[in-house]
Structure formats: C-alpha cells, structure tokens
Amino acid sequence: MGAEVVIEGLTKSFGKQAIWRDVTLTLPPGEVSAMLGPSGTGKSVFLKSMIGLLKPERGRCVINGVDIVTCSEHKLYEIRKLFGVLFQDGALFGSMNLFDNVAFPLREHTKKSETEVRQIVLEKLEMTGLAGAEKKLPGEISGGMRKRAGLARALVLDPQIILVDEPDSGLDPVRTTYISQLFLDVNAQIDATFLIVTHNINLARTVPDNLGMLFRKELVMFGPREVLLTSDEPVVEQFLNGRKRGPIGMSEEKDSATMAREEAEAAAGVADGSIDEDVRGVVPQMQVSPGVPARTGERRRKDRVMKILHTLPPAAQEGIIESLSPEEQQRYGVHPHMLVPAGTRGPDTGSMPSHHQGQLPADQVAQLPGNGWDGGQPRQGSHRMRPRGDQESG
C-alpha cells in the first residue's frame, strides 16, 4: 500500500513573499488526491516541498515516521526513493530513447543487472501503453506519449507516492482523459498514493478521491471530493465554473470595489465569458479500465469516508450516498436523500459533534481524521468552507 503523507502547519515563503501558510492535510494511503488553485498560488512549490527540494520555514511533512522538513540529508535521500514524480513535460532526456530514459533511475540508483533493468523497463512501458515504442526519441513522439514515458520512468523504482504536476499541460481534452485514466489504472495496479496538481476542471471532477484548493496563501479546504464539488464557497464556485466574476482576479485576488462592480454587472445581465451553466455537483468518478483490478484505495476510501460522513455538509453526504451501489448502501445502513443529522450518531461508529443540522462549525467541515482513519476528532484550522444549508443541497 502507498505511504500516508501527514502535513501539519506547513509554511513557505521566498524572502518577504509568503507563498502559503499553515497548510494542514493528510494524503490517505493509496488514494488519489488532487490540489487545485489559481495560477501562482504555489502548487508547484507545494510539490517541491513534499520531496524536500524546497524547505518550508515551519511545519511538518511526515512520511513513514520521518519529517522531511527537519530530517538529515541522508534520511531525505532515502525518503525520496519512495517518490515517483511526473513533471509537466515528462522531463525526458532528449538525446536518449524511451528505453534509456525509463531505465535511467534504475541504472543510477540500483545495482540491477541489465537483464533485470530490461525486464522492469519493458513492464513499465507496457503498463503505460508504450510497448513497442522503446526505440523512439522524445522528439519523435506526441506530448501525450512523452507524459506516459515520464510516468513509466516515475514507476521504475516502485514508488509509494506519485506526484503529478499539471498532467494536462499541452494536452487536448481527450488526451487529458486518457492520461487521467492511466493514473487510476496505475493506482489500481500498485496502490500508490497520488497527488495531482491541476487547473483542469474535468480531471478534478472525475478523477480524484480527495480534492483540495489553495487560494490567498492558504489551504481553502482538503477532503473527500464530494465536499469541494458541492461547495458554495465563492472561490470554489468561480474556479469550477471558470468565471471571471468572483474573488479570483487576473493577479489572483480582487479588491472589494472590483467585486462590487462585477456584482452590479451580473445583476444587469452582463455576460462574463462563462457558460451559463453551473458545473458544481458530484459527477460519477472515473473507473478503472476493463481488465484492470479494482482499486483497493477506492474501497478503503469508502470505509473511511462513511466513518466521517456525519461531519460533512449535507450536499456532500448526499453525493457520497448516491455514489454507493444499493448493496453498499445496505452495508453502510444508508439510503439516498437520507442526511445524517449533525448532533446525532452517523450510520457508522464514532462520536458526533454537537451542533445543529447544516450548521457545521467552519473548522469542522470535511476535516480528515487523525492518522488512524478512525473518524476521530477533526483537526483544527485546515478547512474554512461555509456549510451548505439543507434547502440548498438538492
């Protein structure tokens, strides 16, 4: 199973420029998570901090019991071996064919024989749909194939955590869907923990188990996909719909005068470049390809999310329950349109917070539980979403 990544109070700046502060989240082992955020909010900096390429000033990032923010160089070197990273352009060596590119980490970091190297490389090329392309140079193949080759190379050291930086960059929507499918298929086969950084709304809506968003130098939220997808937080709403109108401006944040002018324009029916269609809501999650084994991360996630169901906003609860098969609904003792009232016990074990229905305290919505995934008390301070009221949840 992939490694769990526990991030607490992580804060990063460059000189006087704060990038993000006090980021707290846990990447559940073997699940696929994605981080959204407008350009320049520090998503790439976040990925680089996770592998110790950049040093946050404060906070912890704990993997297999090692805090990579404070550990020795030697420990960091060991922990880095757990990671596979897919950079935006695949980061392939232009003068090497795909075989040698994919073989590179094995030849650099292991003492494997060429026979073993060959076997592993061909297996990973096959896994990423590149069988037969091993003699091609990066310049001779499409952008989508380069990304697949980058993924094949990220897989050769059997990573427990796979980081992906903007997988859709330079790809058309169809190729983006193919590479997204590949992430889920690979996740099913090796059960690694994934974190994908993306702007791509389709990918965000259909691929990950968990979704988070960085904005205004903070983590707006992180939790089960259904929470962000049903959120009425203005920044989430604007981002998912790709609207000009809202808190995100050309250079990230808008002032209140601009916001007021936009409100007035909206009231007057002035078009703002978006399609008049609200894409929020839970859409079915992409499934693995036929013939690929089921994702154990997905199964674990169901158990985990059902344990914290009662801490989630009503619309997210509904989305989660509706995504279950009738058999699963029976197993968990839930049914569509049943909301687990806050202040009562949920369908599963665990104590309930004492607050009114639909009025979850802002810091208790969609918090992931502690390390044991046991539905324990949510952590403070990593979530700032307003809850949706019952009347809005349909």
Ligand X SMILES: Nc1ncnc2c1ncn2[C@@H]1O[C@H](COP(=O)(O)OP(=O)(O)OP(=O)(O)O)[C@@H](O)[C@H]1O
* Chain residues in the site for ligand X (CB under 6 A): 14, 19, 37, 39-45
* Cβ 320 to ligand X shortest distance, Å: 28
**Which CB atom, from 59 or from 314, has the smaller least distance to ligand X?**
59
**Which CB atom, from 168 or from 191, has the smaller least distance to ligand X?**
168
Which residue in 197, 243, 148, 155 sits closest to 50, CA to CA? 197
**Which CB atom, from 133 or from 235, has the smaller least distance to ligand X?**
235
CA end-to-end span of the chain, whole Å? 37
In this structure, are residues 172 and 140 in contact, taking their beta carbons and an 8 Å threshold? no
Provide long-range contacts, Cβ within 8 A and 24+ apart, for 352-358: 352/310, 353/310, 353/311, 357/314, 357/390, 358/313, 358/314, 358/387, 358/388, 358/389, 358/390
Helix (H) or strand (E) holding 329: helix 326-332
* Cβ 277 to ligand X shortest distance, Å: 24
Q: Which two tokens stand for residue 191?
A: 């059960």
* Cβ 200 to ligand X shortest distance, Å: 11
* Cβ 20 to ligand X shortest distance, Å: 9
In this structure, are residues 197 and 204 in contact, taking their beta carbons and an 8 Å threshold? no
In one-letter notation, the amino acid at residue 53 is: L
* Cβ 88 to ligand X shortest distance, Å: 8
What whole-number distance in Å separates Cα of residue 173 and Cα of residue 184? 17
**Which CB atom, from 21 or from 355, has the smaller least distance to ligand X?**
21
* Cβ 129 to ligand X shortest distance, Å: 26
**How far from 254 is each of 20, 234, 241, 248, CA to CA, in Å?**
18, 12, 17, 6
**Which CB atom, from 169 or from 296, has the smaller least distance to ligand X?**
169
* Cβ 14 to ligand X shortest distance, Å: 4
CB atoms within 10 A of CB 65: 7
Q: Which two tokens stand for residue 134?
A: 């091993």
**Which CB atom, from 42 or from 224, has the smaller least distance to ligand X?**
42
**Which CB atom, from 165 or from 318, has the smaller least distance to ligand X?**
165
In this structure, are residues 166 and 273 in contact, taking their beta carbons and an 8 Å threshold? no
What would the DSSP string read from start to end of 28-64?
Answer: -TT-EEEEE--TTSSHHHHHHHHTTSS--SEEEEEET
* Cβ 295 to ligand X shortest distance, Å: 27
* Cβ 165 to ligand X shortest distance, Å: 8
In this structure, are residues 171 and 143 in contact, taking their beta carbons and an 8 Å threshold? yes
**Which CB atom, from 50 or from 103, has the smaller least distance to ligand X?**
50
What whole-number distance in Å separates Cα of residue 18 and Cα of residue 45? 11
* Cβ 38 to ligand X shortest distance, Å: 7
**Which CB atom, from 19 or from 188, has the smaller least distance to ligand X?**
19
What whole-number distance in Å separates Cα of residue 135 and Cα of residue 98? 6
Classify residue 294 as exposed, middle or buried by CB count within 10 Å of its CB (0-12, 13-18, 19+).
exposed
**Which CB atom, from 40 or from 293, has the smaller least distance to ligand X?**
40
